[in-house]
Amino acid sequence: MSTTVNAVTCPVCGCLCDDIELTIENGVIAKVKNGCAMCESKFLSYKNEHRNKTPLVRKEGKLVPVSYDEAIHKAAEILANANYPILYGWSSTDCEAQRVGVELAEEVGGVLDNTAVVCHGPSILSVQEVGIPTCTLGQIRHRADLVIYWGCDPWSAHPRHLERYTTFTEGRFEGSEWKEYMNKVKASAGKKKLLSLERREIVKRKPEPIIEKVTVNKPPETLSKAGRKLIVIDVRKTMTAEVADYFIQVQPGKDYELMLAIRALVKDHELDVDQVAGVPVEYLEELVDAMVNCEFGVIFFGMGLTQSAGKFRNVDVAISLIRDLNRRTKFAILPMRGHFNVTGANTVSTWQSGYPYSVDFSLGYPRYNPGETSVVDVLLRKESDAALIVASDPASNFPRKAVEHLVANPLIVIDPHMNATALLGDVVFPAAIVGIEKAGTAYRMDHVPLPLKKVVEPPEGILSDEEILSRILEEVRVIKSQKMQEAA
Amino acid sequence: MELLIKNGFVFDPINGINGEKMDIAVRNGKIVESVNDRRAKKIDATGLTVMPGGVDIHCHIAGAEVNTGRLMRPEDHIKDTERKTTLTRSGVGYSIPSTFTTGYRYSRMGYTSLMNPSMPPLEAKHTHEELNDTPMLDKASYPLLGDWWFVLEYLQKGDLTECARYVAWMMGTTKGYAIKIVNPGGLESWGFGRNVHTIDDKVPNFDITPREIMCGLAKVNKMLNLPHTIHLHTNNLGLPGNYATTLDTMRALESVATDGKPVAHITHLQFSSFAGDDWGSMRSGAEEVAKYINAHSHITCDMGQVIFTDTTTMTADGPFEYTLYQLSGHKWVNSDVETETSGGIIPFHYKRNNAVNATQWSIALELALMIEDPWKIYLTTDHPNGGPFTAYPKIIGWLISRKARMATLKKCHKKAQKKSLLPTLKRELSLYDIAIVTRAGQAKALGLKDKGHLGVGADADIAIYNVNPETIDIARKYKTVRRAFGNAAYTIKDGKVVVKDGEIVQHVDGRTIWLDVQTAEQVKVDEEMRRRFREYWTVEYENYPVTNHYLKISDPRTIKADV
Ligand code: SF4
Ligand SMILES: [Zn+2]
């Protein structure tokens, strides 16, 4: 028996494309329409991946299968007895689970943190410093005639970003540049490349090397044309850079300088130097002309800005630049959020606690001081005495010293897959895959909430993050009240 | 569950009860004629003031914008924290409290129902998710419809019927309660960084004016028989000289008013009642505005009182927030929403010794005192725009006591003092008037028949305050009244005692009220609609509606439309 499900939201990246069409055959996803390669691979491989089918608890050094009841009790005991547990992850699960997560963190007096702390944390700090002029992605589709990607490569990391929201979309006031672009490619590239583009495959290739000495070309005439223009600013020539009208290869670590120079030019200041960050000032002047003269411009920025030298200083000046540009025309700026629901994690945490991440509940009320209350810092100071990790794999991306402390203490992991962190865990829960086996809600990178669908059943007996967390919370309360009674 | 509130001084203006000593009986969450005197739980309200639970017609408490305000202002929260207790969740204030704290703080003041006035339809799920986490209160939201492309297009074509059908569809789709219009035409213009400046300016790219949008939607509102009127934030809000625009707006709406009933609610009227040509000459336009409202019956309004404190301004009026940004240079959020609306946020500190701020403070009080009929103007701060809702007791103090407001005025900027009309205004509101401006009037304007009064059949939402009108002169003892209204002796929600002596004693979840508007013919959801959807928005038709999943306790009100 085969059925199709329409308007499925893709639980992979922050684009949260919600037009995916799935064909289900005998309870299994057989076909994926409209998605990019990342999307297809998630929907088609979920069932093949190695998944453990029962909760595991470490006994005498070995992870052994146990019942959910036993694992939940064990996890609750760990959290209820901990003085300063950390509860980390959250960006790849739904808001429904995140809500329970905040409540659990509050109940056990722990530190609640999400993966924003290692990607767009600096962007949030900047918003708290200077605010952010922004908009939903549809505004860009309808109105933007100038799109700038800075320090990000949507072609590889958010493959449908251009075709759904920016350069290659048809809006009310701005058209798509797809045909133009295809003509350009036809003229320059082989048929094979063209076909692969049409199928929107990700062309696997080695990343271009970062070169210290770069030459930047003169801006093309087309930068002053009507219609949408695409500019890419990055340290390496990415796939997105290849399709851009204009690419500026910035010297590594020089984003900040370049942005300051652009900002000065936007304010009509004269620059005393001939070039900035390897870019001749006269080119920059042309670039700034294009920015000031557009009807609606936007800068998307990625980890190239937030995780390179300067971090939140970079984002600060980027946002300040957009503030200045708004005195001349309409301009917006958006971070390219990676995980499909990292935005939701910040959103839920904020409405419940007032703070988007790194929230410390150990004093009984929410406290926020990134750099002190962020999990990596807590781990590096060796202060935590237990951890709960949900839908994330810090063991493979945190600093080594932090991981050492993480695994030195009781570690609970909830994840559909046996990732590196799970292998090191003391209590490990398999979970249903959110957006495939569990319905819920996620927030797109521009804060638009979208429903996630349940399209197939999870493996028999497997619970969702939300259910597991709710049961742990309940059990923690039972244990705590028992302890209180004993004490009395 | 039966409850008997004995012997309090009851103020129930909808039923004409003015401080009479009487008992209020409650059964199963409703007010009833009587209960079994032996079985019922009793509250001795001797010497206390009993009122219906407070109703707030306009407060920004949930949704994308409020939450971005929270996110951008850790400095707002850091000194104002709420500890977790065995009954309550933890949280933070101050001007944009976290959701649980919002619920508890309102409840402690005796409030039981709130209207969240600014919901971008595309982000309506977010609003409702937050409302689910805002306990103690019944809630409803107004979807922003004044610059929605569907509305602009149908009104431009003159097709009111089709416009009405889509508005009806939108109420059900967003689980909304009233038509919200903000700076009509200005928000679409703001999409390209522009604005409209009179009610007859053409909206760029559309063949329509603010006047046509407001009047069109006011007519649609009538055709649909919606319980509230259109809820309107005027053009040129927050700018010197805008009282003239406000008068133009009210005059334009006369054409829709045919039966003497209100057709529009002008919200946070203070922000729309500035006279003068620029910030230097800015002064109060309250007299002209009040005079007009006194002479007409088609307008209700709320104050939008300014409080001298640090707060956070947030509105769908993106261009207005941009003006504030230019004035203050402060951190600034702009957030435009495709096809529908815009938005902006700026932290703001209202200062006594700032002539403009002090004049704003005075204007709101002038309006509340000069508009003679308390059923026409209600107490709000446009929370958190004029100041946080926790300042309501202060405003009550100013309204009931000339002494209280003169004490504050004395500390204001000299120029503002000189120009203020307050010294000439002798009026002092009674507790009966306060019951109107904080609950009865608001419930009536909203068409919430089971709220804002204590008649048989009403929701048993009740506030009891430690004020004895027989023994104290409230105008002189305004500080006692202020304290009492800040910490209800009891708040009763759906017949349950939830607050006692200003402390939460029970955590309850409120309902989400929304309109199920039934039109004879409904919007057709066909391929054409889906295509249009894909063109206008970046989400699929199926994923747009707020489904029941997003309402913890759903309370739909069925409305029969005339179309
Ligand atoms: S762009 Fe991102 S959300 Fe869209 S289909 Fe690809 S992986 Fe999924
Ligand atoms: Zn408002």
Chain B contact present for A373, CB below 8 A: no
Rounded to whole angstroms, the Cα distance separating A107 from A105 reads: 5
Please measure the distance between the N-terminal and C-terminal CA atoms of chain A and give it in whole angstroms.
61
State which amino acid sits at residue A272. D
- A254 CB within 8 Å of a chain B CB: no
Which atom of ligand 1 is nearest the CA belonging to A340? 3
CATH architecture of A121-176+223-335: 3-Layer(aba) Sandwich (3.40)
- Chain A residues whose beta carbon lies within 8 Å of the beta carbon of residue B547: 451
**Is 90 exceeded by the pLDDT of residue A425?**
yes
Please, which residues 144-173 of chain A have a Cβ atom closer than 8 Å to chain B?
A: 164-165, 170, 172-173
Helix (H) or strand (E) holding A230: strand A229-234
Length of chain A: 488
Backbone angles phi, psi at B344, to 5 degrees: -155, 155
Sorted by where each begins, the domain ranges of chain B are 2-52+462-504, 54-446
Distances (CA, A) of B238 to B313, B327, B347, B357, B509: 12, 12, 15, 11, 36
Token pair recorded at residue A331 = 């301009």
Average pLDDT over residues A183-187: 71
Domain boundaries, chain A: 51-118+340-487, 121-176+223-335
Pocket of ligand 1 (CB under 6 A): A 10, 12-13, 15-17, 35-36, 38-39, 158-160
* pLDDT at position A311: 74
Tell me, what DSSP letter sits at residue A438?
B
Residue A451 contacts B where some CB pair is shorter than 8 Å = yes
Type of residue numbered B214: M
Q: Which residue's CA lies nearest to atom 2 of ligand 1?
A: A13
Cα of B232 vs centre of ligand 2, distance in Å, is 10
CA distance A270 to chain B (A): 23
What are the pLDDT tens digits along chain B (563 aa)? Answer: 899 999 999 999 999 999 999 999 999 999 999 999 899 999 999 999 999 999 999 999 999 999 999 999 999 999 999 999 999 999 999 999 999 999 999 999 999 999 999 999 999 999 999 999 999 999 999 999 999 999 999 999 999 999 999 999 999 999 999 999 999 999 999 999 999 999 999 999 999 999 999 999 999 999 999 999 999 999 999 999 999 999 999 999 999 998 899 999 999 999 999 999 999 999 999 999 999 999 999 999 999 999 999 999 999 999 999 999 999 999 999 999 999 999 999 999 999 999 999 999 999 999 999 999 999 999 999 999 999 999 999 999 999 999 999 999 999 999 999 999 999 999 999 999 999 999 999 999 999 999 999 999 999 999 999 999 999 999 999 999 999 999 999 999 999 999 999 999 999 999 999 999 999 998 888 888 889 999 999 999 999 999 999 999 999 999 999 99
Contact (CB<8Å) A326/B84: no
Question: Residue A340 in contact with residue A16, Cβ under 8 Å?
Answer: yes
Q: What angle do CA B556, B557, B559 make, to 5 degrees?
A: 135
**Chain A residues within 8 A of B72 when measuring between CB atoms:** 127-128, 131-132
Q: Which two tokens stand for residue A107?
A: 């109940």
b/e map A185-219, b = 16+ CB within 10 Å: eeeeeeeeeeeebeeeeeeeeeeeeeeeebebeeb
How many angstroms separate the alpha carbon of residue A346 from the centre of ligand 2? Answer: 24
Number of other CB atoms surrounding residue B349 within 10 Å: 12
Interhelix angle B64-72/B124-132, rounded to 10 degrees, is 70
Contact B364, B306 (CB under 8 A): yes
- Block residue for tokens 């009986």: B25
* A202 touches A36 (CB < 8 A): yes
Instruction: Characterize the bridge pairing of strands B344-349 and B283-284.
Output: unpaired
pLDDT (tens digit per residue) in A6-20: 999 999 999 999 999
- pLDDT tens-digit series, residues A291-344: 999 999 999 999 888 888 777 789 999 999 999 999 999 999 999 999 999 999
Report the percentage of chain A scoring pLDDT > 90: 81
Mapped to the 3 state alphabet, what secondary structure does B94-136 carry?
Answer: CCCCCHHHHHHHHHHCCEEEEEEEEECHHHHHHHHHHHHCCCC
Closest ligand to residue B321's CA:
2
In B, which residues are within 8 Å of A137 by CB distance? 338, 538
Please say if the pLDDT value at position A86 is more than 90: yes
B314, B341 contact by CB (below 8 A): no
Contacts of B147 in chain A (CB under 8 A): none
Supply B535's token pair. Answer: 């063109």
CB within 8 Å of A207: residues ≥ 6 apart: A236, A238
DSSP string across A307-370: SSTTTHHHHHHHHHHHHHHTTTSEEEEEE---BTTHHHHHHHHHHHHS-SS-EE-TTSS-EE-T
d(CA A258, CA A249): 11
Q: C-alpha angle B60/A125/A375, rounded to 5°?
A: 105
CATH architecture designation of domain B54-446: Alpha-Beta Barrel (3.20)
The token duo for B215 is 């009047």
A329 inside 8 A of chain B by CB = yes
- Crossing angle for the helix pair B355-370 and B392-400, nearest 10 degrees? 60
Contact B92 A366 (CB under 8 A): yes
User: Using CA atoms, how far apart are residues A391 and A415, in angstroms rounded to an integer?
Assistant: 5
Instruction: Give kind and range of the element (H or E) at residue B348.
Output: strand B344-349
**Shortest-distance atom of ligand 1 to CA A35:** 5
Closest CA to A105 of A346, A351, A358: A358
**pLDDT tens-place string over residues A113-164:** 999 888 888 899 999 999 999 999 999 999 999 999 999 999 999 999 999 9
Name the CATH architecture for the domain at A51-118+340-487: 3-Layer(aba) Sandwich (3.40)
Counting Cα atoms < 13 Å in the Cβ hemisphere of A277 gives 20
CB B117 within 8 Å of CB B59: yes
A296 at B interface, C-beta within 8 A: yes
A95, A139, A356 ranked by CB distance to B129: nearest: A95
- Note whether B543 contacts A6, CB cutoff 8 Å: no
Q: Which residue of A has its CA nearest to B135?
A: A352
Q: Amino acid letter at A160?
A: R
Question: Is the CB of B90 less than 8 angstroms away from the CB of A19?
Answer: no
The helix (run of H) or strand (run of E) holding residue A86 is strand A86-89
Closest CA to B438 of B26, B59, B46, B103: B59
What interface predicted TM-score (ipTM) does this complex get? 0.97
CA atoms within 13 A on the CB side of B181: 29
CATH pick for B2-52+462-504 out of 3.40.50.10320, 1.10.357.10, 2.30.40.10, 1.20.950.20 = 2.30.40.10
**Burial class (CB within 10 angstroms; exposed 0-12, middle 13-18, buried 19+) of A106:** buried
**Pairwise CA distance, residues A36 & A380, whole Å:** 38
